[in-house]
Structure 1
Amino acid sequence: MTEINENQQFLTDLEKKLWNAADKLRSTLDASQYKHTVLGLVFLKYVSDSFYIRQDQLKAQFQDPEHDYYLDPEDFDGADSEEYQQELNTELEERDYYTEANVFWVPQQARWKFLQDNNKTVIGGAEITLADGTKKKFSSIGHLIDNALDAIEAVNPKLKGVLNKLYTRLQIDQTKLGELIDLVATIPFKHQSLDSKDILGHVYEYFLGQFALAEGKKGGQYYTPKSIVSLIVQMLEPFKGRVYDPAMGSGGFFVQSEHFIKAHKGRIGEVSIYGQEYNHTTWQLAAMNMVIRGIDFNFGKEPANTYTNDQHPDLRADFVMANPPFNMKEWDTGVKDDDPRWVYGKPPSGNANFAWLQHMLYHLAPNGSLGLLLANGSMSSNTKGEGDIRKALVENDLVECMVALPGQLFTNTQIPACIWFLTKNKGERTSATGRKLRDRKGEVLFIDARNLGYMKDRVLRDFTQDDLNQVTETFHAWQCSPDCHSREGGNLLEYADEPGFCKSVKLPEIQKHDHVLTPGRYVGAVAEEDDGEPFAEKMARLTSQLKTQFKESDRLEAEIKNNLAGLGYDV
């Protein structure tokens, strides 16, 4: 088995174990409560494991004569002396050793071992002796967990107000909460070939997906399938500059941007992260997602409505990516009709699709690019001025690429979706990644990806990496000049229209279709292979063949009737 397959098997086994075991605990909490109960404990387990991994590294360095941190036992009457062991333990508790390696400093009463050692003890209340010798009273397991989160917040200012301290208030049997701690303890954040952050990301992503299913439409507001996030990130290549998501959910676009940058040997420090989210608990999840990865971020002063309380009014981002709620109604309460964002027309009250799109354009830098996931209706609807807004976007040459997606990609909705890619500059220039872009003024690329992907289970569809690469490489080849190179250094394939999949279309043709942007209208059908037989001859041959088959059918029917009559049946 290859390393990739072994890693995938490890993650799959982990998924099954966690969800099956957690099933018995979910009966006492609804899905939305359970979501934050589990993810808060997963967070505590992760930061503790990372702390312990760093502690083991330090211990080895303190005992390595070749390392700068070496503690010479001869200075302490030998390695077995009490003085040496005390000094070693003191050094292992120095916070700077952890922060220099971008590892969370975790106070003793927030470490997983402390929780596991004491979670059964505090049921009904108990006094616990802390590492510094002081005693503290705990009223319950929930109190023990909230205390751990408080302790982490106190020494990690970026998390102030972010962690969801709800365990004391949970209406749940204490022994059940103790079982949940024991369950989360089985999540291994140490693996021979997988990074601990990747394991954490997978656990988070898996749980978020399952919670989206459990909570229905509402639960999926913060969850975008990883493959769709990856596709948008691969196509936009947010390699450096300002990255913005005005409907960020749990921060999936930012996490995938980090993966892209690292995979292409870039520096995460060259990217500035900006986001906004209305839901308070989801805003907290996003902040936790960033902090554990060491990504600096600006999510505004508070969770807020993007339309009525824009947290980044002066931002002009180089890359804007979002998956806002589809076809959102009554979005404009408190929004002025003459809002400066509505450059191309006021969006209707009954649907926020073009409000999201124009908000993102408003915050886009002159050479910026955006990718927006919307319902398919946005490509063709003429309801209450939507057609006029779409026409204005096309006529102002802002639309760069339209991608139609297959159905059944989302856990929370069956609404078919598409991706809009827009830019304010289609002129010849060099992209943020160093790619030479050709002059694409007056052109739009249409990609019909509805036939890509595979069914990962009975209800959900997904893309393979080859599917993602096919769409991405088509887009980049279309964008680029003939001598353009890929990020990996090789030449990109020269772009060519492919019937049934992609077509580069000029503005006059789009005008003929009344500015409808559905890819299927333009890419046509897959070309069938020419067998060399003239149409007239083929039609005559097939007609003759059909007559012969009709005659044979009549003969067989008569024979069957005769046989049945011989058996005494009246037919």
Structure 2
Amino acid sequence: MNVYEQAGFIWSIADLLRGDFKQSEYGKVILPFTVLRRFDCVLAPSKEKILEINETLTISNKTPIFKRHTGHDYYNISKFDFEKLTDDSTAIEANLRDYINGFSEDVKEIMDNFDIFAVIEKLNKAGLLYLVVQKFAEINMSADAINNLEMGYMFEELIRKFSEQSNETAGEHFTPREVIELMADVLLDPDGDILQTDGKVITILDPACGTGGMLSVAQNKIRDNNDKIQVIPFGQELNPETYATCKADMILKGNNNSRVVLGNSFNEDGFKEQKFDYMLSNPPFGVEWKKVEKFIKDEAQNQGYAGRFGAGTPRISDGSLLFLQHMISKMTPVDNGGSRIAIVFNGSPLFSGDAGSGESEIRRWIIENDLLEAIVALPDQLFYNTGISTYIWVLTNRKTDRRKGKIRLVNGVAYFEKMRKSLGNKRNLISEENRNAIVKLYSMYEPHEDYIDFDNTDFGYQKITVERPLYDDKGNAVLDKKGNKKADAALRDTETVPLKEDITEYFKREVLPHVSDAWIDESKTKIGYEIPFTRHFYKFTHLRSSEEIMSEIKELEERISKKMLEVLGE
């Protein structure tokens, strides 16, 4: 069987769970048992030797010896394996617990985060535990049957299947594969030559890695082009179960699992002081950061730009731009090769926040430091838990000369195909043909209606405060102690002036012809940045004339009257 047939067979085991487990809970059983069976098969050749060493060796730390004999970073000292577990159906729960507790600490940690013992207890109460173990014992997952790369693909396929089945939680930790493929393509596209360097070590980070899909796709794309490159994935995840899935996936592929950590990236940064070559992420849309508010604001205030959040903090209801600042802080300096970032956002980070607000200041800092390379608008209804519009932001600190001082907006909203059957809110998908077309829009320089190159300053503006005099009852302007006209707060107004435009000239042209006594309070002028994406690709559709509409109504009325006559037989 190929890996997809293997995944299909494992998937069929879920049929046993129907009725006792909700469909969204199938993965809680199948994924950890798949991991256990893989480890069981891989460790089988050294099983007897490990038991012998454990029995005869008296030293306190046997771990290095166990690892040397297994050839892996994990081992198991229980007398049980899947074959022996099926010998006694009456003691299956106790024996399986003994087997799991016999694993090395890293595997036990994964199983703890899968909450495996609660799963085992529920299976046993339902009379399903022995059947599930028996089914898995029939599957050959040895290294000879399935190598690490194939095992990784198979596990990814299982993750995808269960995530798509679980409409309750799919969007929380699972990004559609075609979106990840597109992100990886625009992330890696300019670096074709760099990625052909044999022996090069590439580091990748996802600070909200979920089940590890983005890390896997990026790693696979690099290796597919050059298998002589060493790719080291790093991930951090807040949810214990999805963390366990990601960490297990890394081990199954032969990656060093210590590079995936559990915790909140904001206040439990698992990779302090570390820098990365590539970063990609899909942080949760519009999730508040109140739980870590004090930590983040303290860091912003006390460390400034020496910390992660010196540019500012967004409104408490949406931490998206905090994730981006966190990733920017981990960019490799340009002198050491620089970094590239791809991150998925909803529309809010493009424009939320007025001039001087946290969001605007973060955008200003990013754009004025020439970090933003491109934004790609995606089709709507791509994600499982939301139908809203989404965007890929691409950032780098090593723009090519042609892109320096520029930001490209790519309009990819029409590049999709309708799905035959929707999955939650997901009704559209990006085909390979669509993806290639979007990547071409990202990289090409021939004129095309679906991309526009802007100067960085095109997205900046100056918000000016326009004051008018306060008049007394006799119509005279009220003066302050210095003889200056007092402003009438009721008449106060603001104007938004493009950053490229001279404020004085704008004021003379747009304001003074209408209110000749007005002036600018320069002390209140603020610079803001926003990216009104849809405005630049808006296409006006002419409304039909009233004559055309009335003609159509008249025609419909005549057709209805004719039908009525036919029905009434007159």
Give the TM-score category using the shorter length.
0.5 to 0.7
Tell me, yes or no, if the aligned pair for 1:277 and 1:303 is still in contact at 8 Å. yes
Distance 1:142 1:233, change over 3 A: farther
Question: Could you list the per-position Cα deviations for residues 379-426 of structure 1 after superposition, in whole angstroms to 9, with x for gaps in the alignment?
Answer: 122265323322332233211110111222222333432111111232
| Partner in structure 2 of residue 445 of structure 1 | 408
Answer whether contact 1:371 1:420 (CA < 8 A) is retained: yes
How big is the shift at 1:96? Answer: 6.4
Match of 1:167 in 2: 117
3-state DSSP of counterpart to 1:276: strand
Amino acid at match of 1:282: T
2:386 equivalent in structure 1 = 413
Query: Which runs of structure 2 are paired with 1:204-283 in the superposition (5 Å)?
Result: 204-207=156-159, 209-211=161-163, 213-214=165-166, 216-217=168-169, 220-237=171-188, 239=195, 240-269=201-230, 271-283=231-243
What count of residue pairs does the alignment treat as equivalent? 453
Quick one: distance in 1 between partners of 2:11 and 2:33?
Answer: 15
Q: How does 1:11-90 map to 2 (within 5 A)?
A: 11=4, 18-19=10-11, 21-29=13-21, 34-50=26-42
Q: Pairwise mapping of residues 362-511 of structure 1 onto structure 2 (< 5 A)?
A: 362-366=329-333, 367-382=338-353, 385-426=358-399, 437-456=400-419, 457-459=421-423, 460=426, 461-475=428-442, 477-478=443-444, 495-499=445-449, 501-511=450-460
Deviations 1:204-227 (A, max 9, x none): 44345534653624x543322222
Structure 2: gaps of 5 or more residues: 47-65, 196-200, 461-497, 500-527
Map residues 151-162 of structure 1 onto 2, 5 A cutoff: 151-153=102-104, 159=107, 161-162=109-110
1:285 match: 245
2:266 is equivalent to residue 307 of structure 1: yes
Secondary structure of 2:343's counterpart equals strand
Check the 8 A contact 2:78/2:103 in 1, yes or no.
no
Distance 2:568 2:238 in 1: 79
Counterpart contact for 2:183–2:342, Cα < 8 Å:
yes
Structure 1 residues 104 and 197, CA gap change in structure 2 (3 angstroms): farther
**How big is the shift at 1:186?**
6.0
Partners of 1:234 and 1:469 in 2: how far apart?
9
Distance 2:167 2:242 in 1: 14
TM-score by length of 2: 0.67
Q: Match of 2:34, as an amino acid?
A: V
For 1:359, the equivalent position in structure 2 comes to 326
- State which drifts further: 353-362 or 105-114: 105-114
Change in Cα spacing, 1:178 to 1:505, as seen in structure 2 (3 Å) is: same
Q: Distance in 1 between matches of 2:312 and 2:436?
A: 35
Match of 2:82 among 109, 112, 116: 112
Please report the TM-score for the alignment, with normalisation by the length of structure 1.
0.67
Task: Determine helix, strand or coil for the equivalent of 1:234.
Answer: helix
Query: How far did residue 315 of structure 1 move?
Result: 1.2
SS of the aligned residue for 2:447 comes to coil
The CA deviation at 1:26 is 4.7
Aligned partners of 1:563, 1:556: CA distance in 2, in Å? 11
**2:129: which partner in 1?**
177
1:156-215, Cα deviation, whole Å (9 max, x unpaired): x65463333733762333531122224445656589998664355344443455346536
Distance 1:316 1:559 in 2: 75
Structure 1: which 5+ residue stretches go unaligned?
A: 1-5, 56-93, 126-140, 427-436, 479-494, 529-541
Structure-2 separation of matches of 1:562 and 1:266:
74
Residue equivalent to 2:464: none
Cα 1:550–1:304 shift into 2, 3 Å = closer
What SS is found at the alignment partner of 1:371? Answer: strand
Distance 1:496 1:15 in 2: 44
